[in-house]
Amino acid sequence: MRTIHVYRAARNYFVDGIYWGDDEEGVRFYLRVTGVPTDAITKALEQVAQEGTALIQQGGLVAGSKPGLRDASSQACREEG
């Protein structure tokens, strides 16, 4: 099971703590080539835009406060803390 943390500070994106700049399409491309389903990427980036952070977990579900983001293969959820 793999967990990917995507977050944004100001206009800059970070994926698992690695700086990605302000290029959302670059983040989308990276997540796609690492095997994240397109719908999970879209949900995660929408959540990042609203809340500033999202977790994508492949191979299972992550308990989260947003049940609308759950599906059978992956989930984007808000990180507490």
Answer whether residue 47 shows pLDDT above 70.
yes
Give residue 75's pLDDT band: very low, low, confident or very high (50, 70, 90).
Answer: very low
Predicted pLDDT of residue 74:
42
Residues 58, 73 contacting (CB under 8 angstroms): yes
Answer whether residue 3 shows pLDDT above 70.
yes
Answer whether residue 36 shows pLDDT above 80.
yes
Residue spans per domain, the chain: 2-77
Query: pTM of the entire structure?
Result: 0.68
Residues 31, 41 contacting (CB under 8 angstroms): yes
Answer whether residue 50 shows pLDDT above 90.
yes
CA atoms within 13 A on the CB side of 1: 10
